[in-house]
Amino acid sequence: MSLTGFTRTRVAPDHALLTPDTFIRAPLPGWVNTACIVHIAPELGARFKMYTVEMQPGGTGEMSLLDIQRFAYVLEGEVALEVGGARHTLWANNYVYLPANTPHRFIAESNVRMVVFDKPYQALAGVDVPQVVLGHEPDIPSSPLMGDEDLQVRLLLPEHFSFDMAVNTMTFAPGAHLPMVETHVMEHGLLFLQGGGVYRLADYWYTVQAGDVIWMASYCPQWFGALGKTPSKYLIYKDVNRHSL
């Protein structure tokens, strides 16, 4: 409870820092016995929706919209996923990509927290639509960003033109930082998984930590430097592989 009226949350036209003390829970169609915290949505100016679902045991989740693809990453708990006639069990750091118009159902086997990215799928002429992808983040090989061994990136989805979104994790050794102030056409939705540091967004520098969410609009200048004595890590979404014309 805040008796000061202070928060690190800040919303600007081209970026937002959203901290857990300001999260509001509400129901969303398709999710039963589940509280949803919408972090990033078209209302903010984004072209995708990023939200956390907090499922009670027995809670369920389905897709209630047409032509929307989904990426879900388990943060906590055990959740069954029924898709394509198969049943999978997902635990923390398991993730799934579900192509648009793929009927599926999540069923919580315990209290579950997942972060979900929903986005309209933009088909590409002559390119097959993607298949379901299931993965476990720690098992994905990592590679250094621009030769910096202290900054390791894992690509959770295949690098293929059939995908119009990418989701990666980035792990920074203490003191590591992005090599440049990136300014690019892709927009981002980011969840801090561990550690923290300083995030530059446009002309502002923010202290950030695990649990924080960041939206970066297209062309928002961005830079991060990790602080603390343990690695810092975030999950980051971006739109890729399409002309916006």
CB of 178 to ligand UGY, least distance (A): 6
CB of 120 to ligand UGY, least distance (A): 21
Neighbours of 76 (CB within 10 A): 14
Binding mask 156-185 for ligand UGY (x = CB under 6 A): --------------x-------x---x---
CB of 190 to ligand UGY, least distance (A): 7
Q: Which of 108, 26, 98 is nearest to 65 (CA)?
A: 98
Indicate which single residue of 212, 220, 236, 239 sits in contact with ligand UGY (rule: CB under 6 A).
236
C-alpha 53/C-alpha 112 separation (Å) is: 8
Given the rule CB under 5 A, which of 13-21, 85-93, 150-158, 178-186 is the region that contacts Mn ion? Answer: 178-186
Indicate which single residue of 120, 182, 210, 218 sits in contact with Mn ion (rule: CB under 5 A).
182
**Residue 122 one-letter amino acid:** Q
Residue whose entry in the numeric block shows the structure tokens 């059939």: 162
C-alpha 213/C-alpha 73 separation (Å) is: 14
Q: Which of 75, 49, 28 is nearest to 239 (CA)?
A: 49
Residues that bind Mn ion (CB under 5 A): 182
Residues that bind ligand UGY (CB under 6 A): 170, 178, 182, 188, 222, 236, 238
